[in-house]
Amino acid sequence: MRRLNTKSFRSEVGLSLVEMLVAIAITSIITTALLGLYLSSDKVFRQTKVIADTKETAKLSLAQLEWLFQRWGTSTPCNDPEGNNICTIIRNCKDLNGNFQYPPPSSICITIEDSNPCDEVYFYANLYGNGFVDRLDSATTVAVMSCRLSDTNVQNCYHIKRGGKFRRDANNTQNVLVFSINNLSSNNLDCINATGNSNGLMSRQLNILNGFELDQNNQLTQTLNFDGGDLLVRVPHRVKLFCQSNPNDNNKQWLYMSATDTSLQCNANEDPSPLVPVDSFQVQQQFQGILVSVTIRGPEGRLMQVQRFFGR
C-alpha cells in the first residue's frame, strides 16, 4: 500500500487546524496587547490634555486678573479723610454709611465683602486712555502723546494733572474737575510703538464739565488751556468682581466683572461680563496689597487652585 506524503500535502493545502488555532491565539494576544496599549495611551493622553487645558485656563484667568489689578488705583484722585493728602494707603472705598464717594478716600482703596464661596471686590481703575502734552504746536493747538485718547461722547471725560496734582474746582476743592478735549486728530492711537515725543494734535483749550477754574483775572471760567507737560487721564471706573451663574455654560458659576463710570458726564458703564469659570474666589488684604486665591474650573470639571499677590 502507498504511503501518503503528509508533508507535501500540508504544504499544498495550507495550515493544519492546530496550526491555525495557534496562529489565531497568537494574533488575539497581540491584538489584545495593542488594544490595551492604545487604551492606556489614550487615557494618559486624555488626562494630560485635561491637565494642560486646565493650566491654560488658569494662565488666561491670571492674565485677566493681572490686567485689572495693574490698573488698580491708576488715574484715581483721592480725598484723604484725615486731611493729610495721602492717597497711597489702602482704605475701604466705602464711607461710614456704606456708600461709595468720589473721589474715594484713597487712590488704592479696595472694598472686600466676604462671602462663600466668592467674595465681592470693588476698586477704582483706569480702563481707557491717557496721554500727555508734549509741547505747544501753535497758539491754538498742542502736540500730544496719545495712549488711546478719544474725544467720542462716551469717552471724552478726563482729569488733568499739572505739576503732579489733579485740577480741582475753584469753588469746592473736594471736587476734582472733569474736562473734555477738542479736535483730537485721531482716536485710540497706540503709543507703545510710537516714535518721537508725540503722535497726535488737539485743541489747546479744554472745556470744564463739572465746575470752575480761575482765569488770569481771578474770574471763574469753564475753560482751561493746556501747558506743556500736562497729563490727561480718563476718569476711572469703579470695578466690581463677583460670581454668578453663566447661562452660556449651563448656569455654572463664573467670575464676572462690571464697571461703573465715575464720570456722570460720560456714564460709560460696563455691563457684567464673564471672565473665568471658578469654584471659589477669595481676596485678603495683606500689607500694601492683596492676596487673591481662586479655584479655577477647567474642562471636564477639573479644579486648579492658584494664588497671586498684587501689591501697590
Task: Say what the pLDDT of residue 63 is.
Answer: 86
Per-residue pLDDT of the chain (312 residues; tens, 9 = 90+): 455 555 544 445 555 666 666 666 677 666 666 666 655 555 544 555 555 665 676 677 788 889 999 999 999 999 998 888 899 999 999 999 999 999 999 999 999 999 999 999 999 999 999 999 999 999 999 999 999 999 999 999 999 999 999 999 999 999 999 999 999 999 999 998 888 899 999 999 999 999 999 999 999 999 999 999 999 999 999 999 999 999 999 999 999 999 999 999 999 999 999 999 999 999 999 988 999 999 999 877 888 898 999 988
pLDDT at position 246:
96
pLDDT, residue 277, reads: 93
As a whole number of Å, the CA-based R_g of the chain is 33
What the block records as the C-alpha cell of 3 is 504511503
pTM of the model: 0.82
Cβ atoms 224, 218 nearer than 8 A:
no
Q: What is the per-residue pLDDT for 31?
A: 67
**Distance of CA 5 to CAs 11, 19, 81, Å?**
10, 18, 114
Q: Which residues of 89-101 are buried (b: 16+ CB within 10 A; e: fewer)?
A: bbbbbbeeeeeee
Q: Domain limits of the chain?
A: 6-53, 54-77+107-123+237-311, 130-234
